[in-house]
Structure 1
Amino acid sequence: MSESSNKPPLSLTPGQWSFIRWKTIGQLEALEVHHPLFQATLFLQGAQLTQFAPKNEQDWLWLSPTARCEPGRAIRGGIPICWPWFGDPARNAPEVRKRVKTESAHGFARTALWKLEAVNESAHEVEISLSLEANKDFEAVWNGHALALLTFNFSVQGCRLALTTTNLGSAPLAYSQALHTYLPTSDIINSRVLGLGHSHYIDTLKGWEYLKQDGPVYFEGETDRIYEYGETLTVVTPEAKRKLTAVGSDSTVVWNPGPEKAAKLTDFPASAWKSMLCVETANAASDYRVLNEGQSHTLGVLIGRA
């Protein structure tokens, strides 16, 4: 952890913050970070980061130009939080699936209202923590009791997310999750992901066939794969190289909708598939996690320069 994270949090009274201010964007409340070294935008709904950029640099995250900021609607882009299940509930392990009472994908955290827990500021970084207690308020869609604590750390070197889940119930809790990171590119065809060579993956577009990766991952159309890999990756685009360093993960999802699916997605221009890709730090497929009473697990990613 950074040095500042060991300091007591500052008062949550906005007037006492140096670099952060509240802002209403669309119909949602967000925290805007205006630090001399970087800027960021973080929504309370979904604990969703939609912007991070060091000074004089382009946004490190991709946000759809037609994204809508409305209550109960997932924002298209940034880093949505998929929790306490990832993807189609029916495609999850039985232990995860039996707790889900809806057919909706990706859990409820990305549209739930999170609580601001702490803010730490320094001359070099900003750290913000948000929490979501999954209790009886969500019993219509999920059977469980857990606490999600998500901490964001921003600095000129990059941004770090750490999502800690604690089982507040008395029975073992099985869940899956992902930090659904959207990254920008000027040309998807000339973009690639390095570090997954020789790892195995599930290709969801080929009947969930189990395959082996040979070399870098390129994008030639719709791509939707769950890799059995959770370590450091490098995303190369014509503009930049980004290193994604995972913690608490043994699975990575690589996704691009391609032209046909892009035309059907909400809040997504038909041609936008050419300008984005997703590399998601995850606990997905066989990498789902089980927590006994009181146990915690942290899933994290550091997005930095390569």
Structure 2
Amino acid sequence: MSESSNRPPISLSPGQWSFTRWNTIGQLEALEVHHPLFQATIFLQGAHLAHFAPQDQMEWLWLSDTARFEPGRPIRGGVPICWPWFGDPARNPPEVRKRIHSDAAHGFARSVLWKLEDVRESAHEVEISLSLDANEDFADVWTGHALALLTFSFSVRGCQLALTTTNLDSNPMAFSQALHTYFSTADISRTRVLGLGTSNYIDALNDWEYCTQDGPVYFEGETDRIYESGEPLTIVTPAGSRKLTAVGSDSTVVWNPGPDKAARLSDFPDTAWKTMLCVETANAAGDYRVLNEGQSHTLGVFIGRT
């Protein structure tokens, strides 16, 4: 799915990095990329992409003005990693739910430290890989043993995330997940998502009733839907548009909290719902995945110019 140059980036050790630097933001360690063609910021906690912008362009992602960068606290905005379950545990399929020993939504990957595996740089691209070994250390919240490897690829054309899960357990592993991407918009009422017309979806605000989309997705208040589609999408905002191309996904989550829920959310200004939306590349609801011992699955998205 790569949209990058044919020339592979060169793997380098920290002393040799040309564009990538360590920084401490709040109480968290982060990798900041300052490339002549683009900029990006990744936190080790949650393998969380918080910032991406090509040269001379405005920020592509939305990050809350009140986000707090503290150990164990998920970051509001950017691209949180929901893994190894998505959403409310009780709303997951039985095969996924039986592994979960927590009431917390969206799994534990977004609030724990990941390990830096590699930084690869070239004149056109930077790739950064981080891993999470979900072993017996997480037995109090989840049953299983799996390796999550997340690779970010940045170029002037856009950014790509590829999350590969490998089952290291002897038993089959069922899981759900999402790349919970927050996008900026100047006005949610003049924003729409193209590519989901005629798709079936679950309306989480209407007792999980099945509905069918008719044309573009518009936002008229709180929106929380799981679409049965992994087709390419276009997000149109007053400032322009972005194209999303997914792999390993047959479900897409579209979310905006609206005014009432925004007032209840942590680290979320009351009026911020007017300037953001989430379009999430997912394996959610009936699109959950099962891996036998040693098997892997990659969920990915390329966010690019249209």
Partner of 1:215: 215
Return 5+ residue gaps in structure 1 as ranges: none
One-letter amino acid of the structure 2 residue matched with residue 58 of structure 1 = M
Residues 1:298 and 2:295 are matched in the alignment: no
Residues 27, 4 of structure 1: alpha-carbon distance in 2 compared, 3 angstrom cutoff: farther
2:9–2:127 contact (8 Å) kept in structure 1: no
Superimposed CA distance per residue, residues 262-300 of structure 1 (whole angstroms, 9 cap, x where no aligned partner): 000000000000000000000000000000000000000
- In 2, the alpha carbon distance for the partners of 1:5 and 1:171 equals 39
Q: SS of the counterpart of 1:131? A: strand
Whether 1:9 aligns to 2:11 is yes
Determine the C-alpha separation between the residues in 2 that align with 1:289 and 1:262. 31
Counterpart of 2:114? 114
Residue 8 of structure 1 and its aligned partner are, at CA, apart by 5.8
Q: CA RMSD in A?
A: 1.0
1:266 aligned onto 2:247? no
Q: For 1:27-77, what per-residue CA distance to the aligned partner results, in whole angstroms no more than 9, with x for missing partners? A: 000000000000000000000000000011111000000000000000000
CA offsets 1:99-139 (integer angstroms, 9 cap, x no match): 00000000000001000001100000100000000001101
Q: TM-score, normalised by structure 1?
A: 0.98
The question of whether the paired residues in 1 share the 8 Å contact of 2:262 and 2:270 is answered with yes
Aligned-pair identity (%)? 76
Which residue does the alignment assign to 1:36? 36
> Cα distance, 1:4 vs. partner?
6.9
- The letter of the residue matching 2:130 is L
Aligned residues of 2:10 and 2:122 also touching (Cα < 8 A): no
Alpha carbons of structure 1 residues 4 and 69: separation in structure 2 relative to 1, 3 Å: farther
How far did residue 6 of structure 1 move?
4.8
Q: TM-score, normalised by structure 2?
A: 0.98
- The Cα shift of 1:9 comes to 2.1
The alignment status of 1:226 with 2:229, answered yes or no, reads no
Q: Is the 8 A contact 2:251 2:283 kept in 1?
A: yes
Write the distance in 1 (CA, Å) between the matches of 2:10 and 2:20: 17
Query: Could you tell me whether the CA contact under 8 Å between 2:39 and 2:55 is conserved in 1?
Result: yes
**Structure 2 residue 131 is the aligned partner of structure 1 residue 131:** yes
Aligned mates of 2:298, 2:16 — CA distance in 1: 30
Alpha-carbon offset, residue 21 of structure 1: 0.4
How far apart, in 2, do the equivalents of 1:159 and 1:278 lie?
Answer: 16
Q: Is the aligned partner of 1:102 residue 2:88?
A: no
Determine the structure 2 residue equivalent to 1:199. 199
Give the CA deviation at 1:231: 1.6
Find the counterpart in structure 2 of residue 275 from structure 1: 275
Structure 1 stretches (4+) deviating beyond 6 angstroms?
none
- Partner AA of 1:192 in structure 2: R
Q: What residue number does 2:54 align with?
A: 54
Q: Which amino acid aligns with 1:19?
A: F
CA contact (8 A) 1:144 1:169 kept: yes
Aligned length: 304
After TM superposition, give the deviation of residue 240 of structure 1 in Å.
Answer: 1.4
In the alignment, the residues of structure 1 paired with residue 240 and residue 167 of structure 2 have an alpha-carbon distance, to the nearest angstrom, of 39
Q: Is the 8 A contact 1:5 1:127 kept in 2?
A: no
